[in-house]
Structure 1
């Protein structure tokens, strides 16, 4: 699959909140996930390596939330082996704090799989 095709599938599935399916189908075995440096202040790991660890990170995040009120994904912008989207979520966490999250996700594709995801917020 081309970068454009993967970006289009990411967008289609993200709009349906199907991130588990995105990871299962389109992430490479050695994918790397990078969070911003300030995420460490919230106890998050900055760099996560390998599909099982990246999937586990997603599961852990979803377990923290009480309710997902809304979420959206912008249409992807594609350039070379990269695409980017803007992700927005309105979430109430189990500690009862409600937050609106907005981040830019940049993804690198190689040999038909996402090999890098990096988030900016």
Structure 2
């Protein structure tokens, strides 16, 4: 059920990304960009990784430490990439391309949850005898 809970957060993140990108490029009032755009866009940092990591930990409890290391490295790498390249790209092309590309990638990775919604039980069954589940 955790994967289904991601759907509304993905939709809210998409709205926040569009409002932020279009708002910056069309010089909307700051209130719309900050209140709607940033609030909704913050979902990508808070809710989506939390739900995904909880699902992973529920599925593979014995390797919780390794999962959290991997999740932390990925989040930090994503944050580094955004901070290193987004500003340069935005200066060259405007805000829409980099922010909407970020939105598209997050949506793509979040939609991988659909695969696990349908076939997650089968995947977990395939790894049931793995060393991962040995405590």
What range describes the TM-score normalised by the shorter chain of this pair? 0.3 to 0.5
What's the TM-score once normalised by structure 2's chain length? 0.34
Query: Which has the higher relative contact order, 1 or 2, with Cα contacts under 8 A spaced 6 or more apart?
Result: 2
Rg larger for: 2
What's the TM-score once normalised by structure 1's chain length? 0.37
More strand by share: 1
